[in-house]
């Protein structure tokens, strides 16, 4: 969709431009569309994303094992926004002119705005170690998942006796991916999880860390702690442990370490922290620019209680509600609300039919946690129509599979 919009900024309706269609951007747009706007005040809401689909990223791991299909975890934006009044524009942001208040896309489209929401998320840095850009697989987007799947299939169809996979980073992404890959590859897999610190899941609750450690052990995943990656090559990876460098053969190396703010944000003349994140007020407005709101991975935010808000999907989902409300308030002369983050707990997948959950006084792991995780994420799906379609498929699929065996 091309949006050649040149109306003066004083003309109504106001335009809200949302950059990024992840949890922060998408749910901000949906929240804005649901607020009680007067007919004369209802703004134009435009969401820009380089993909044509919203990705429910916590379920991306299920693509690896074939437990879920793309349509279930990545509905098209046009489908999600149907009937909401939100306009979707597929494109890549080339630049943001803060003083002129417009966004420039790579295809030449220029989008003026009255309120701007920055929710572009982050990217996986692949220039930290020699060879990572050329020889490692990140795992953040649908494109990453497709590329990983292509490589896995090639290895599975090869005559190799064992498939050797190194996963760098034993945070949430690395551990969840290791468990799913171990289930997929079975006895043929030789998985190695490499972590620089002295334990996996350093920021995770103890219950989840213990459950994850047990799952990795049962699945035969080798864990290298206090180990640094020195370099990656086409078919090998060099690791340093206690001053000694050891080079081991691998068929695939996956990189899950770190998150970096995208370049278009780092170049803005706005207050940033050392990581390039934009500093916001408790109302999620960028410091000194009240017309710009920031949330998710690219925001350095302390909430109304002064606690640092983590860069998680859970936090972005909560922030979106406040950003939507505060934009509405700022355009209708109402007081803005300071963000209050609520830690609702942590859920992780630990393979097929296994998960772990800690939060709200509950500790679960195993098949029951797996079901609770699925239901929690179903509830978080972007609209009722998609929830019903996915929920029905989750119920019907195992029944159809059993009937096919008869």
Reduced to 3 states (helix: H, G, I; strand: E, B; else coil), residue 184 is: helix
Rounded CA gap, 255 and 366, in Å?
A: 27
> Above pLDDT 70, what percent of the chain?
96
Q: What is the mean pLDDT of residues 300-328?
A: 95
Q: Which two tokens stand for residue 240?
A: 């340093």
Question: What pLDDT score was predicted for residue 2?
Answer: 46
Rounded CA gap, 178 and 175, in Å?
A: 5
Q: What is the mean pLDDT of residues 373-391?
A: 94
> Above pLDDT 90, what percent of the chain?
90
Question: What pLDDT score was predicted for residue 258?
Answer: 87
Q: What is the pTM of this model?
A: 0.92
Q: Which two tokens stand for residue 275?
A: 């990581």
- Higher per-residue pLDDT: 311 or 212: 212
Q: Using the predicted structure, report yes or no on whether residue 400 has a pLDDT greater than 80.
A: no
Ranges for all domains in the chain classified under CATH 3.50.50.60: 15-50+91-123+260-331, 132-255
Q: What is the mean pLDDT of residues 180-208?
A: 96
Q: What is the mean pLDDT of residues 158-170?
A: 96
CA 94, 100, 102 angle in degrees (round to 5)? 40
Reduced to 3 states (helix: H, G, I; strand: E, B; else coil), residue 148 is: helix
Fold category of 15-50+91-123+260-331 in CATH: FAD/NAD(P)-binding domain (3.50.50)
Reference 351, options 137, 185, 145; nearest CA is 185
C-alpha distances in angstroms, 313 versus 319, 345, 346? 10, 12, 11
Options 3.80.30.10, 3.20.20.70, 3.50.50.60, 3.30.479.30; CATH of 132-255: 3.50.50.60
């Amino acid at each position: 969709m091309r949006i050649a919009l040149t109306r003066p900024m004083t003309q109504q309706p106001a335009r809200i431009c949302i950059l990024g269609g992840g949890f922060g951007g998408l749910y901000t747009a949906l929240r804005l569309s649901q607020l009680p706007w007067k007919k004369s005040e209802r703004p134009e809401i435009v969401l820009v994303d380089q993909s044509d689909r919203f990705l429910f990223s916590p379920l991306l791991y299920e693509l690896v094992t074939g437990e879920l299909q793309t349509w279930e975890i990545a509905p098209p934006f046009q489908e999600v926004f149907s009937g909401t009044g939100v306009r979707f524009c597929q494109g890549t942001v080339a630049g943001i002119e803060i003083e002129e208040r417009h966004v420039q896309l790579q295809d030449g489209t220029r989008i003026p705005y009255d309120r701007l929401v920055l929710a572009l998320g982050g990217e996986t840095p692949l220039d930290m170690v020699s060879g990572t850009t050329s020889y490692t697989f990140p795992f953040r987007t649908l494109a990453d998942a497709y590329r990983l799947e292509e490589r896995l299939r090639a290895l599975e169809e090869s005559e190799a006796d064992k498939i050797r996979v190194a996963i760098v980073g034993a945070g949430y992404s690395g551990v969840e991916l290791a468990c799913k890959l171990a289930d997929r590859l079975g006895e043929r897999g030789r998985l190695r999880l490499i972590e620089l610190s002295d334990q996996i899941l350093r920021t995770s609750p103890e219950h989840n860390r213990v459950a994850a450690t047990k799952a990795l052990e049962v699945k035969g995943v080798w864990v290298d702690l206090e180990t640094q990656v020195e370099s990656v090559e086409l078919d090998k990876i060099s690791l340093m442990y206690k001053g000694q460098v050891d080079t081991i053969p691998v068929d695939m190396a996956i990189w899950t370490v770190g998150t970096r703010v995208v370049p278009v944000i780092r170049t803005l003349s706005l207050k940033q922290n050392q990581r390039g994140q934009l500093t916001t007020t408790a109302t999620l407005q960028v410091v000194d620019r009240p017309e710009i709101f920031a949330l998710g991975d690219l925001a350095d935010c302390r909430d109304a209680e002064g606690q640092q808000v983590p860069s998680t999907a859970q936090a972005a989902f909560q922030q979106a509600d406040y950003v939507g409300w505060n934009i509405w308030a700022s355009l209708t002369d109402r007081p803005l609300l300071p963000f209050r983050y609520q830690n609702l707990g942590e859920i992780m997948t630990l393979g097929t039919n296994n998960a772990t959950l800690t939060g709200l006084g509950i500790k679960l792991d195993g098949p029951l946690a797996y079901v609770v995780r699925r239901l929690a994420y179903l509830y978080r799906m972007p609209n009722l129509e998609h929830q019903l379609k996915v929920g029905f498929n989750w119920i019907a699929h195992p029944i159809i599979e059993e009937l096919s065996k008869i």
